[in-house]
């Protein structure tokens, strides 16, 4: 009997073996290509990382702020006949509103935000003038910068800071080619910024005046405006501000009290002196959350303007460094998002928000530790206050929106 031999079998086995080796090689090379593409995208494009960092850091700061508001306000609320949870529950409701505003700012198309920037020119002016209107404007801590609606109050200037950034980013984007022309590119922006800062100064809100002025100057420089004219205007504005403060002995004494804290500890420097005592009580690790003594009426406004003193007392130096690290991450990635954005509007928007948070945080902490004047500014995300918290969370949402834009 003759047996037929399949001469194609060895070649078929070899083909299958070769095909299996090729598939394995493709899997290995495909995985390495995926890893290399991922590593390249991470190293070259910080936006995905920045989006999660901004969202995560904002959430941590807001939750930490809620804890510190509860700790710093419960004693005072109880002695005023209210529930110890009063300020905490109000701040939680503000955080909920801020979360909605943050999500809306994140999901809005950046082109629509750009178009809304022109509307913010009018809204910003109306918001700044609202506290001066009879019947709704009210004075808090010597500054007529608040609007009251029943039991609720609003500080329009906190939203004007963000409106100024959005409008400025839109205006400086449209006038990109005219920034060398002072009349067309620089003066219109400086006039509006000066008007907003002047209204804040008239309302005795010196802190807001400083922040608005710094926002205007930094955004002009970031947009590429000529350095010397902008610096000259800034110097003139600073000199005018000095004359304005010097004309009022009370304002001048309050703003210069930090130069002699020990000598003014019974009057204008009382807040800072008590804050420094709380800072020293904190030591390295702090007294523990809830165990601080500065909030027992020694540090005025312990839950708002001077909440940093309570953080330092109850969390210690390590807690302060952790908080500053969080702010540092937020500002750093905000600038990274600005640099990585292909759109000029997105660049100016993210950079302006980063400058705003940096300036306001520096002035607040500097005032608490006694190296800068006390101006009544809140610490973003941490201090008690709905206007500041909602505006700050909306700004974080806009930063996340910029992160979504393609390079």
**pLDDT band for position 45 (cuts 50, 70, 90):** very low
pLDDT recorded at residue 152:
74
Q: Compute, in degrees rounded to 10, the torsion defined by CA atoms 330, 331, 337, 340.
A: -140
pLDDT recorded at residue 27:
55
Q: What is the pLDDT of residues 222-243, one digit of tens each?
A: 888 888 888 888 888 888 888 8
Mapped to the 3 state alphabet, what secondary structure does the chain carry?
CCCCCCCCHHHHHHHHHHHHHHHHHHHHHHHHHHHHHHHHHHHHCCHHHHHHHHHHHHHHHHHHHHHHHHHHHHHHHHHCCCCCCHHHHHHHHHHHHHHHHHHHHHHCCHHHHHHHHHHHHHHHHHHHHHHHCCCCEEEECCEEEEEEECCEEECHHHHHHHHHHHHHHHHHHHCHHHCCCHHHHHHHHHHHHHHHHHHHHHCCCHHHHHHHHHHHHHHHHHHCCCHHHHHHHHHHHHHHHHHHHHCCHHHHHHHCHHHHCCCCCCCCCHHHHHHHHHHHHHCCCCCCCCCCCCCCCCCCCCCCCCHHHHHHHHHHHHHHHHHHHHHHHHHHHHHHHHHHCCCHHHHHHHHHHHHHHHHHHHHHHHHHHCCCCCCCCCCCCCCCCHHHHHHHHHHHHHHHHHHCCCC
pLDDT recorded at residue 78:
85
pLDDT recorded at residue 372:
92
Q: Compute, in degrees rounded to 10, the torsion defined by CA atoms 8, 13, 15, 17.
A: -170
* pLDDT of 257 higher than 70: yes
pLDDT recorded at residue 407:
56
Q: In the β-sheet with 143-149, what is the strand arrangement from edge to edge?
A: 137-140, 143-149, 152-154
The CA distance from 245 to 235, in Å, is 15
CB neighbours of residue 383 within 10 Å = 24
* pLDDT of 120 higher than 50: yes
**pLDDT band for position 28 (cuts 50, 70, 90):** low
The CA distance from 242 to 128, in Å, is 22
Q: Pick 10 or 48 by higher pLDDT.
A: 48
Q: Domains of the chain: which residue ranges?
A: 47-403
pLDDT recorded at residue 61:
97
Q: Pick 184 or 9 by higher pLDDT.
A: 184
Q: Do the beta carbons of residue 215 and residue 230 sit within 8 Å?
A: no
**pLDDT band for position 36 (cuts 50, 70, 90):** very low
Lowest mean pLDDT among 108-117, 126-135, 236-245, 314-323: 126-135
Average pLDDT over residues 317-328: 95
* pLDDT of 10 higher than 90: no
**pLDDT band for position 101 (cuts 50, 70, 90):** very high
Q: Pick 38 or 314 by higher pLDDT.
A: 314
Average pLDDT, rounded, for the chain: 84
Q: What is the pLDDT of residues 195-227, one digit of tens each?
A: 888 888 888 888 899 999 999 999 988 888 888
Q: What is the pLDDT of residues 63-74, one digit of tens each?
A: 999 999 999 998
* pLDDT of 8 higher than 50: no
Q: What is the pLDDT of residues 388-405, one digit of tens each?
A: 999 999 999 999 999 887
Q: Pick 318 or 253 by higher pLDDT.
A: 318
pLDDT recorded at residue 32:
47
Q: Pick 138 or 75 by higher pLDDT.
A: 75
């Amino acid at each position: 009997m003759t047996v037929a031999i399949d001469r194609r079998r060895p070649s078929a086995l070899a083909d299958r073996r070769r095909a299996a080796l090729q598939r394995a090689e493709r899997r290995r090379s495909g995985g390495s290509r995926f890893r290399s593409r991922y590593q390249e995208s991470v190293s070259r494009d910080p936006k995905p990382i920045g989006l999660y960092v901004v969202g995560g850091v904002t959430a941590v700061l807001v939750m930490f702020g809620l804890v510190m508001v509860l700790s710093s306000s419960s004693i005072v609320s109880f002695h005023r006949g209210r529930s110890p949870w009063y300020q905490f529950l109000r701040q939680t409701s503000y955080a909920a509103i801020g979360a909605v505003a943050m999500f809306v700012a994140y999901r809005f198309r950046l082109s629509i935000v750009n178009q809304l920037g022109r509307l913010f020119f009018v809204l910003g002016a109306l918001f700044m003038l609202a506290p001066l209107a009879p019947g709704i404007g009210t004075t808090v801590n010597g500054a007529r910068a608040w609007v009251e609606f029943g039991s609720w109050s609003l500080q329009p200037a906190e939203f004007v800071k963000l409106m100024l950034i959005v409008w400025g980013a839109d205006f400086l984007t449209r006038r990109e080619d005219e920034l060398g022309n002072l009349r067309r590119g620089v003066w219109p922006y400086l006039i509006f910024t000066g008007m907003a800062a002047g209204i804040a100064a008239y309302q005795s809100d010196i802190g807001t005046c400083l922040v608005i002025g710094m926002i205007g100057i930094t955004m002009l420089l970031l947009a590429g405006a000529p350095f010397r004219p902008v610096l000259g205007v800034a110097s003139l504005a600073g000199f005018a501000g000095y004359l304005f403060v010097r004309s009022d002995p009370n304002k001048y004494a309050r703003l210069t009290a930090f130069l002699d804290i020990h000598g003014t500890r019974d009057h204008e420097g009382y807040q800072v002196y008590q804050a420094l005592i709380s800072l020293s009580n904190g030591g390295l690790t702090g007294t523990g959350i809830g165990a601080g003594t500065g909030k027992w009426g020694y540090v005025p406004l312990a839950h708002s303007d001077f909440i940093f003193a309570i953080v330092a007392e109850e969390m210690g130096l390590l807690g302060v460094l952790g908080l500053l690290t969080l702010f540092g991450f937020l500002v750093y990635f905000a600038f990274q998002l600005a640099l990585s954005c292909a759109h000029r509007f997105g660049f100016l928007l993210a950079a302006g928000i980063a400058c705003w948070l940096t300036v306001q945080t520096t002035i607040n902490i500097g005032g608490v530790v006694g190296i800068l004047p006390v101006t009544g500014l809140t610490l973003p995300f941490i201090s008690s206050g709905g206007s500041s918290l909602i505006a700050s969370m909306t700004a974080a949402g806009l930063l996340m929106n910029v992160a979504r834009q393609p390079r």
